Structure 1
Amino acid sequence: MPSPVTLPRLGWGDVRAPRRALLVHGLGSNGALMWRYGVELADAGWRAEAVDLRGHGTAPRGLDYSIAAFATDLVHTVPVGDEPWDLVLGHSLGGAASTVAAADTPAWTRHLVLVDPAIHLADADRDVVRVSQEQAFADTSVAAVRAAHPEWLELDIELKAVAAAQASRWAVEQTSDQNTTWDVRQAASRLTVPTHVIGGDPAVYSIFTGALADEVLQNSAVTMSVVPGTGHSPHRDDPDAAAAALLDAIRGWGLDA
Structure 2
Amino acid sequence: MTDERIRRIKMPKWGLSMTSGTITDWLVAEGDEITDGTELAEIDTDKIAGTLESPEEGVLRGVVVAAGESAPVGGTIAIVAPAEVPDAEVEAAVAEAKEQLASGAVEEAAGPVTGEVEVGGRNLSYATMGDGPDVVVLVHGFGGDKNSWLFVQEPLAEGRTVHALDLPGHGSSTKDVGDGGLDELAGAVIGFLDALGVERAHLVGHSLGGAVVTAAAARTPDRVRSLTLVAPAGYGTEANADYLRGFVEASTRRELKPHLRALFADESQVTRQLVDDLLKFKRIDGVQDCLRALLGTLLDGDKQAIDAASLLAGVAVPTAVVWGAQDQVLPVADPSAFGEGVQIRVVEGAGHMVHMENPAAIREAVESLLG
3-state DSSP of counterpart to 2:334: helix
Distance 1:39 1:153 in 2: 22
Match of 1:168 among 287, 305, 322: 287
Question: Which residue does 2:226 correspond to in 1?
Answer: 111
Q: Does 1:69 align with 2:184?
A: yes
Q: Does 1:252 align with 2:368?
A: yes
Distance 1:214 1:146 in 2: 28
Amino acid at match of 1:188: L
Alignment of 1:1-257 (within 5 A): 4-14=120-130, 16-42=131-157, 44-60=158-174, 61-78=176-193, 80-85=196-201, 87-120=202-235, 122=237, 124-135=239-250, 138-139=251-252, 144=257, 148=261, 149-152=267-270, 160-166=278-284, 168-179=287-298, 180=300, 181-201=305-325, 203-205=326-328, 207-209=330-332, 212-220=333-341, 222-236=342-356, 238=357, 241=358, 243-255=359-371
- Go from structure 1 to structure 2 and tell me whether the alpha carbon gap of 1:214 and 1:55 turns closer, same or farther (over 3 Å shift): same
Is the 1:191–1:219 Cα contact (8 Å) retained in structure 2?
Answer: no
Amino acid at match of 1:168: V
Alignment size in residue pairs: 239
CA drift of 1:165 comes to: 4.2
3-state DSSP of counterpart to 1:10: strand
Distance 2:236 2:292 in 1: 15
Is the 1:54–1:62 Cα contact (8 Å) retained in structure 2?
Answer: yes
Distance 1:186 1:173 in 2: 25
3-state DSSP of counterpart to 2:137: strand
- Go from structure 1 to structure 2 and tell me whether the alpha carbon gap of 1:208 and 1:117 turns closer, same or farther (over 3 Å shift): farther
Q: Over the residues paired in the alignment, what is the CA RMSD in angstroms? A: 3.0
CA drift of 1:158 comes to: 6.2
- Go from structure 1 to structure 2 and tell me whether the alpha carbon gap of 1:97 and 1:152 turns closer, same or farther (over 3 Å shift): same
Amino acid at match of 2:292: E
CA drift of 1:111 comes to: 0.9
Larger radius of gyration: 2
- Go from structure 1 to structure 2 and tell me whether the alpha carbon gap of 1:182 and 1:153 turns closer, same or farther (over 3 Å shift): same
Unaligned runs of 5+ in 2: 1-118, 262-266
Amino acid at match of 2:352: H
- Go from structure 1 to structure 2 and tell me whether the alpha carbon gap of 1:130 and 1:90 turns closer, same or farther (over 3 Å shift): same
Is the 1:111–1:193 Cα contact (8 Å) retained in structure 2?
Answer: yes
Is the 1:146–1:157 Cα contact (8 Å) retained in structure 2?
Answer: no
3-state DSSP of counterpart to 1:107: helix
TM-score, normalization by structure 1? 0.79
- Go from structure 1 to structure 2 and tell me whether the alpha carbon gap of 1:4 and 1:147 turns closer, same or farther (over 3 Å shift): closer
CA drift of 1:147 comes to: 8.5
Amino acid at match of 2:213: S
CA drift of 1:153 comes to: 6.9
| Greater fraction of residues in helix | 1
Distance 2:133 2:190 in 1: 21
- Go from structure 1 to structure 2 and tell me whether the alpha carbon gap of 1:7 and 1:235 turns closer, same or farther (over 3 Å shift): farther
Task: Percent identity, please.
Answer: 24
3-state DSSP of counterpart to 2:247: helix
Is the 2:139–2:166 Cα contact (8 Å) retained in structure 1?
Answer: yes
- Go from structure 1 to structure 2 and tell me whether the alpha carbon gap of 1:161 and 1:107 turns closer, same or farther (over 3 Å shift): farther
